[in-house]
Amino acid sequence: MSWIKDNKFAATTGGVTLVVTLALLYVGMHARTRYATALENYQNAASEVEGFEAIALYPSREDRAGKSKALNDYRTAITGMQAAFEKYRPKDLKKLSPQDFTDHAKAASEEVGKAFEEAHTKLPEGFFLGFESYTGTLAREDATSLLDYQLGAAKELMLALAKAKPSQLQNLHRLKFAEEDGDKWQADPSDAGRPFPIEITFKGSESCVREFLSAMSKSPNYFYIVRSLRIMNEKQRAPLVADAKFEPATPAAGAGKPGADPFGGAAGFVTPPEEPATPATPSATPPKTPAPATPSPAVAPAPAPAATPATADTGRILNQVLGNEELQVFLRLDVLQFLPVKPLPEVPKSIP
């Protein structure tokens, strides 16, 4: 004890060193145990992975063959659709000069205007097939090819509408596309076509609307997609009884004359005429008692043919009752420009 008192620093240092050594020994032994546990877990996992690697991978050969067949069928269907719409894909969009496009637009507008004039259709003021912004200015040269493509579609639509003979074309609005303002249009990787919206408002009969929509669906050059269609009656209220104006009925010939009998006779019956009596002829043989004679029936004269009643014009009557107003039509559609065909990826062959 005296040595510890005389050498406090050395004793303290030795004690601290002993405690630290014991602590490090404990930590090392504990860490070695954890390392051994981790090593054992790793070796177990490695053995399990080696076992999985020795097994055939998922899916099975049958499933892989079925997947390959489904992909090939889908690829064939897509190829068939591309072939079906190939006729609507523009082969080559010619790049025109701004003046050439203006000349094309003027010629198309004059042709359409003449067709509407022959159909007696009223046109909006300053009608120019939706290209009114180019009546006084020239188009950008990098946009003329697409403008000419739109011009062909607008001309086809308006000629079809003129053939249906509407009473009035109220509006033809064409939305501008990016190249007209000097911008660039970027297609998404999944895009198969580029839409060009057009809005048409006109007034015509029901048959006019049917004929125009049928002509659109049968177009050989352009593919139209109807986005919105609104059809309303020109008159919003239902026709009233007072709206119907019927002509007075014409009396039938011979009606109302005195003595006219609906049954064909004066009293309604025909009396057969009496036959004259035949004189007896003298004979040596005493006459036998004659059998009672059976009177022959009299043949009634054929009645006069009845007058055929005049057939009423049911169409005129329905117009008078149901109303003869026209339809107000608003149509928003897209002229779809199909983009170049994208090559389809090949389907990997399945392992037999």
Domain positions in the chain are: 2-80, 98-239+326-338
- Please tell me which of 2-11, 35-44, 190-199 the model is most confident about, judged by mean pLDDT: 190-199
Give the mean model confidence (pLDDT) for residues 131-153: 93
Give the mean model confidence (pLDDT) for residues 208-234: 94
Does domain 98-239+326-338 fall under CATH 3.30.70.60? My reply is yes
Q: What per-residue confidence (pLDDT) applies to 117?
A: 95
Q: What per-residue confidence (pLDDT) applies to 284?
A: 45
> What is the DSSP annotation of 40-100?
HHHHHHHHHHHHHHHSPPSS-HHHHHHHHHHHHHHHHHHHHHHHHTGGGS-S------HHH
Mean pLDDT, the chain, integer: 79
Residue 46 has pLDDT above 80, yes or no: yes
Residue 298 has pLDDT above 90, yes or no: no
70 versus 92: the higher-pLDDT residue is 70
**Which 8-state DSSP code applies to residue 160?**
H
Q: What per-residue confidence (pLDDT) applies to 283?
A: 47
Asked if residue 215 lies in contact with residue 164, where contact means CB atoms within 8 angstroms, the answer is: yes
Q: What per-residue confidence (pLDDT) applies to 121?
A: 95
Distance set, CA 127 to CA 52, 95, 159, 169 (Å): 76, 25, 14, 10
Q: What per-residue confidence (pLDDT) applies to 51?
A: 80
pLDDT digits (tens, 9 = 90+) for 89-104: 988 888 899 999 999 9
Distance from C-alpha of 224 to C-alpha of 227, rounded to nearest angstrom: 9
